[in-house]
């Protein structure tokens, strides 16, 4: 064993991980042993009711294991089905999957699978229809009490059993490096496992209960580290938060006076609050909340102009390429030469990129707007004084820190830039403290005048025609429409897809209209050109996935059809619906769905009668838990790895309390806390501890 082994070693050097497999893990952002061990399973399947096949009784819930003898396609009264023959030496049983022809490829002859479900006697044999199943490793069929098997988020070409196998290898080799960093007293008080045990139990649980206890331990730990980081950062800012002092706001005011509308009272109030922050010589750290369409962008622009006016650079971080392009066009037009604006995204050509970066470093560019590309190491600022983040819920705390930290790179002055984060997803109060405990909050609680509520109507798929008749009627009047689908292409999900819908509509209900398609899978120049045509009115109907969810602004669009609406969360539906109703015309949103449960039906009903974003967010929180409010949904991988830990509000509150007590303790005796502090630092960077003498 090499002594230099660390959890940061790359997994591609692990036994059983070749370059091809490493690439698949990379698609899940898993590069190191640590990434791998922190890729927690989101569910476990309980196979502990294992039964030899000859003892399976119809009508019972059972688990069996056996070798795949063959796979065939059959025709049944319910349509085509795939039938998989399994034997464990005591008997033969069939797994049956209706309407899932592609699943045949998942079963290889000779491989060993484990399956659970309700047994039934059909077609003269024992069958389990639509079982929960997994391929298990091993060469022989062992009939013993089945394990509790974890299920992981996967990518093409990876199975849960492959992940498990690699995790096992990693734990064998690196397990001894896992540390307990939580203080003993806290561990006992909250009945947590020693952390190394928790890591083992979450991947290889002895029982469902052990798995749950492991999750609870790891969730608590993540939350504690996160809360400590927030509190330390806040403390650091308070002690040492010298920020750029913006002394002059003349140009920024002039910018406001050039707008074609006057500000709402709420916008004015918020601009007042922010200006006070900016002029005090202490770093601002503020969250701006406001429902979709409340006009947050002009507030951001005001701040950016103020930064430029005072000789500082401003960063404007946005979650998507489409939104970046839109903001760029608007800013350029609004600023009209008062400040140099550039845009940097993943699709910026290398030559152009290096030219922009050069001008950024020299200070020639005063406002740089862009996507995650702004966070890359090569991006160096001359004097970054303000960071604005749009649609904060799409980013994590870490990104905010990265930019704040960047500002300090290679400069002798130690000014901490002002930070303004904006969000249209109202965060329920109980959560705001936890997620944004370090921020001051401003709220725009008023929509610009003349806005009408977006009338919302739920339709069964058989009534879909009504929605598209309305689309036709409105397009005939010169207005535009959105059609939103949950997935890009039809796959295993069985959800309505954007690509198929687009094809159907062009040939069917919407024949003769100009129908465009945009989704996250398209190259960005293509996305951009479709969006441009939609903005210009050349594309009359835009079919899309949720890429349009955030920020896109086309006031002429007055009707939206959301297909398979019950696939979306309430907060997302509310955001989507906010894309229409931006002009003076009365707008309408159709939710097309055949809800699969009473709850789902109830949710749609609520959407049709509730227009309060905060209320909807609270319902989402109650229903789906806080996990979804963390980190980036875009990449599926959250900044704080708790989404899959099923964390609840109570545990979050407890962790926050303990974090506060620990931070308090830091001013005195810190013995026994070195590992804990090192972990906070590793995860959240040294900004957290900036200004602390250690």
In angstroms, give the least distance from the CB of 317 to Mg ion: 13
Stretch in the footprint of ligand ADP (CB under 6 A) among 220-228, 463-471, 549-557, 680-688 = 549-557
Examine residue 241 and tell whether it contacts ligand ADP (CB under 6 A). Answer: no
| Residue 426 contact among ligand ADP, Mg ion, none, beta carbon within 5 to 8 Å by kind | none
Beta-bridge partner residues of 316: 369, 388
In angstroms, give the least distance from the CB of 617 to ligand ADP: 15
Nearer to ligand ADP, 485 or 552 (CB): 552
Q: How far apart, in Å, do the first and last CA atoms of the chain sit? A: 33
| Residue 264 contact among ligand ADP, Mg ion, none, beta carbon within 5 to 8 Å by kind | ligand ADP
Look at the chain and count its residues. 694
By CB under 6 A, the count of residues binding ligand ADP is: 18
User: Cβ-count burial of 429 within 10 angstroms (0-12 exposed, 13-18 middle, 19+ buried)?
Assistant: exposed
In angstroms, give the least distance from the CB of 585 to ligand ADP: 14
Question: Scanning residues 582 to 601, which ones bind ligand ADP (CB under 6 A)?
Answer: 582
Q: How far apart are CA 566 and CA 692, in angstroms?
A: 49
Q: Which of 41, 66, 147, 290 binds ligand ADP (CB under 6 A)?
A: 290
CB atoms inside a 10 Å sphere around CB 494: 11
Question: Scanning residues 243 to 262, which ones bind ligand ADP (CB under 6 A)?
Answer: 261
538: Cβ contacts below 8 Å, ≥ 6 apart: 514
Examine residue 355 and tell whether it contacts ligand ADP (CB under 6 A). Answer: no
Question: Scanning residues 392 to 431, which ones bind ligand ADP (CB under 6 A)?
Answer: 424
246 neighbors 306 (Cβ within 8 angstroms): yes
Residue 298 Cα to chain centre, angstroms: 26
In angstroms, give the least distance from the CB of 325 to ligand ADP: 14
Examine residue 264 and tell whether it contacts ligand ADP (CB under 6 A). Answer: yes
| Residue 52 contact among Mg ion, ligand ADP, none, beta carbon within 5 to 8 Å by kind | none
623 neighbors 189 (Cβ within 8 angstroms): no
Q: Which of 199, 283, 292, 580 binds ligand ADP (CB under 6 A)?
A: 292
Examine residue 267 and tell whether it contacts ligand ADP (CB under 6 A). Answer: yes
In angstroms, give the least distance from the CB of 300 to Mg ion: 8
Site string for Mg ion, 146-185 (x = CB under 5 A): ----------------------------------------
User: Cβ-count burial of 99 within 10 angstroms (0-12 exposed, 13-18 middle, 19+ buried)?
Assistant: exposed
In angstroms, give the least distance from the CB of 656 to ligand ADP: 29
Half-sphere exposure of 389 (CA within 13 A, CB side): 27
In angstroms, give the least distance from the CB of 303 to ligand ADP: 13
In angstroms, give the least distance from the CB of 264 to Mg ion: 15
In angstroms, give the least distance from the CB of 584 to ligand ADP: 10
Nearer to ligand ADP, 227 or 480 (CB): 480
Nearer to ligand ADP, 293 or 516 (CB): 293
Q: How far apart are CA 314 and CA 302, in angstroms?
A: 11
Question: In the chain, what is the greatest distance between 2 CA atoms, to the nearest angstrom?
Answer: 86
Q: Which two tokens stand for residue 496?
A: 């309505």
Q: Which two tokens stand for residue 480?
A: 């535009």
Q: Residue with the closest Cβ to Mg ion?
A: 551
Q: How far apart are CA 486 and CA 544, in angstroms?
A: 9
Please give the full DSSP string across 465-520, using - where no structure is assigned. Answer: HHHHHHHHHHHHTT-EEEEE-SBSS--TT---BHHHHHHHHHHTTTTTS-EEEE-T
Examine residue 297 and tell whether it contacts ligand ADP (CB under 6 A). Answer: yes
Q: Residue with the closest Cβ to ligand ADP?
A: 295
Nearer to ligand ADP, 121 or 261 (CB): 261
Buried b (16+ CB within 10 A) or exposed e, 322-361: bbbbbbbeebbebbeebbbbbbbbebbeeeebeebbebbe
Nearer to ligand ADP, 311 or 555 (CB): 555
Backbone phi and psi for residue 482, each to the nearest 5 degrees, phi listed first:
-110, 145
Examine residue 295 and tell whether it contacts ligand ADP (CB under 6 A). Answer: yes
Q: Which of 282, 296, 372, 472 binds ligand ADP (CB under 6 A)?
A: 296
In angstroms, give the least distance from the CB of 551 to Mg ion: 4
Stretch in the footprint of Mg ion (CB under 5 A) among 107-115, 273-281, 535-543, 544-552 = 544-552
Examine residue 691 and tell whether it contacts ligand ADP (CB under 6 A). Answer: no
| Residue 147 contact among ligand ADP, Mg ion, none, beta carbon within 5 to 8 Å by kind | none
Q: How far apart are CA 533 and CA 540, in angstroms?
A: 9
Please give the full DSSP string across 627-656, using - where no structure is assigned. Answer: GGGSS-STTS--SSTTGGGT--HHHHHHHH
Nearer to Mg ion, 39 or 527 (CB): 527
Examine residue 293 and tell whether it contacts ligand ADP (CB under 6 A). Answer: yes
Q: Which of 177, 180, 183, 178 is nearest to 670 (CA)?
A: 183
In angstroms, give the least distance from the CB of 296 to Mg ion: 5
In angstroms, give the least distance from the CB of 654 to ligand ADP: 35
Stretch in the footprint of Mg ion (CB under 5 A) among 91-99, 431-439, 548-556, 598-606 = 548-556
Stretch in the footprint of ligand ADP (CB under 6 A) among 39-47, 293-301, 316-324, 641-649 = 293-301
In angstroms, give the least distance from the CB of 327 to ligand ADP: 9
Distances (CA, A) of 304 to 386, 458, 528: 7, 41, 24
Identify the sign of the CA torsion 527, 528, 533, 535. positive
Backbone phi and psi for residue 294, each to the nearest 5 degrees, phi listed first:
-80, -10
| Residue 660 contact among ligand ADP, Mg ion, none, beta carbon within 5 to 8 Å by kind | none
Q: How far apart are CA 546 and CA 520, in angstroms?
A: 8
Examine residue 452 and tell whether it contacts ligand ADP (CB under 6 A). Answer: no
Q: Which two tokens stand for residue 309?
A: 């006016």
Q: Is 381 helix (H, G, I), strand (E, B) or coil?
A: coil
309 neighbors 441 (Cβ within 8 angstroms): no
Q: Which of 116, 294, 371, 423 binds ligand ADP (CB under 6 A)?
A: 294
Stretch in the footprint of Mg ion (CB under 5 A) among 486-494, 550-558, 559-567, 604-612 = 550-558
Q: How far apart are CA 620 and CA 27, in angstroms?
A: 29
Give all strands (DSSP E) within 241-366, no chain letters: 285-290, 313-317, 341-344
Q: Which of 91, 194, 363, 448 binds ligand ADP (CB under 6 A)?
A: 448
Q: Which of 258, 255, 247 is nearest to 312 (CA)?
A: 247
Examine residue 426 and tell whether it contacts Mg ion (CB under 5 A). Answer: no
| Residue 292 contact among ligand ADP, Mg ion, none, beta carbon within 5 to 8 Å by kind | ligand ADP
Question: Scanning residues 298 to 327, which ones bind ligand ADP (CB under 6 A)?
Answer: 298
Backbone phi and psi for residue 243, each to the nearest 5 degrees, phi listed first:
-115, 170
Examine residue 551 and tell whether it contacts Mg ion (CB under 5 A). Answer: yes
- Positions in the binding site for ligand ADP (CB under 6 A): 261, 263-264, 267, 290, 292-298, 424, 448, 551, 553, 555, 582
- Positions in the binding site for Mg ion (CB under 5 A): 551
């Amino acid at each position: 064993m090499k002594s230099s082994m660390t959890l940061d070693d790359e997994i591609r050097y692990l036994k059983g991980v070749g370059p091809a497999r490493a690439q698949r893990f990379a698609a899940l952002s898993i590069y190191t042993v640590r990434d791998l061990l922190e890729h927690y399973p989101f569910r476990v399947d309980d196979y502990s009711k294992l039964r030899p096949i000859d003892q399976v009784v119809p009508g019972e819930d059972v688990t069996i294991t056996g070798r795949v003898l063959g796979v065939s396609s059959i025709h049944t009264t319910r349509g085509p089905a795939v039938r998989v023959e399994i034997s464990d030496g005591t008997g033969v049983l069939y797994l049956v999957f209706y309407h899932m022809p592609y699943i045949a490829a998942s079963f290889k002859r000779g491989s060993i699978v484990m399956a659970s479900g309700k047994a039934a006697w059909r077609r003269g044999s024992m069958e389990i229809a639509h079982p929960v199943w997994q391929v298990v490793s091993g060469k022989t069929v062992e009939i013993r009490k089945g394990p509790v098997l974890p299920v992981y988020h996967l990518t093409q070409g990876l199975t849960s059993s492959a992940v498990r196998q690699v995790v096992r290898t990693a734990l064998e080799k690196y397990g001894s490096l896992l540390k307990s960093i939580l203080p003993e007293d806290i561990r006992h008080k909250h009945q947590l496992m020693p952390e190394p045990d928790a890591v083992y139990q979450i991947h290889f649980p002895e029982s469902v209960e052990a798995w749950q206890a492991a999750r609870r331990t790891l969730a608590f730990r993540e939350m504690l580290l996160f809360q400590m980081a927030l509190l330390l950062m806040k403390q650091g800012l308070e002690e040492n938060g010298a920020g750029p002092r913006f002394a002059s706001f003349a140009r920024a005011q002039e910018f406001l006076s050039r707008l074609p509308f006057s500000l709402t009272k709420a916008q004015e109030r918020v601009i007042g609050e922010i200006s006070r922050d900016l002029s005090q010589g202490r770093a601002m750290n503020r969250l701006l909340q406001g429902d979709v369409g409340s006009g947050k962008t002009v507030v951001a622009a005001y701040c950016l102009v103020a930064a430029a006016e005072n000789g500082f650079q401003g960063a404007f971080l946005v979650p998507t390429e489409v939104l970046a392009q839109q903001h760029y066009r608007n800013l350029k037009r609004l600023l009209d030469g008062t400040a140099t604006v550039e845009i940097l995204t993943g699709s910026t050509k290398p030559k152009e990129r290096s030219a922009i970066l050069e001008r950024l470093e020299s200070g020639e560019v005063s406002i740089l707007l862009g996507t995650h590309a702004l966070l890359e190491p090569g991006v160096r600022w001359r004097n970054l004084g303000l960071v604005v983040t749009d649609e904060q819920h799409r980013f994590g705390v870490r990104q905010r820190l990265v930019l704040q930290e960047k500002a300090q790179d290679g400069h002798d002055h130690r000014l901490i830039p002002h930070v303004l984060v904006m969000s249209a997803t109202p965060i329920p109060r109980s959560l705001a403290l936890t997620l944004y405990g370090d921020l001051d909050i401003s709220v725009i609680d008023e929509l610009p005048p003349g806005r009408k509520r977006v009338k919302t109507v739920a339709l069964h798929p058989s009534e879909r025609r009504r929605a598209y008749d309305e689309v036709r009627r409105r397009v005939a009047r010169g207005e535009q429409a959105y059609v939103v689908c949950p997935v890009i292409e039809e796959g295993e999900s069985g959800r309505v897809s954007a690509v198929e819908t687009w094809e159907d509509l062009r040939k069917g209900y919407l024949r003769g209209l100009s129908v465009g398609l945009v989704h996250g899978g398209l190259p960005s120049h293509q996305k951009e050109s479709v969006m441009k045509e939609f903005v210009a009115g050349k594309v009359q109907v835009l079919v899309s996935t949720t890429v349009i969810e955030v920020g896109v602004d086309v006031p002429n669009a007055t009707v939206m059809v959301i297909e398979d609406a019950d696939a979306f969360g309430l907060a997302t539906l509310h955001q989507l619906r906010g894309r229409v109703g931006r002009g003076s015309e009365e707008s309408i949103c159709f939710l097309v769905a055949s809800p699969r449960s009473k709850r789902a039906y109830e949710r749609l009903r609520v959407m049709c009668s509730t227009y309060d974003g905060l209320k909807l967010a609270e319902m989402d929180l109650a229903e789906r838990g806080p996990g979804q409010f963390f980190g980036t949904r875009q990449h599926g991988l959250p900044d704080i790895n708790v989404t899959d830990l099923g964390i609840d509000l109570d545990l979050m509150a407890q962790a926050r309390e303990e974090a506060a007590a620990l931070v308090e303790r830091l001013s005195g005796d810190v013995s026994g806390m070195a590992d804990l502090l090192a972990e906070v630092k590793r995860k959240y960077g040294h900004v957290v501890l900036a200004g602390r003498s250690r």
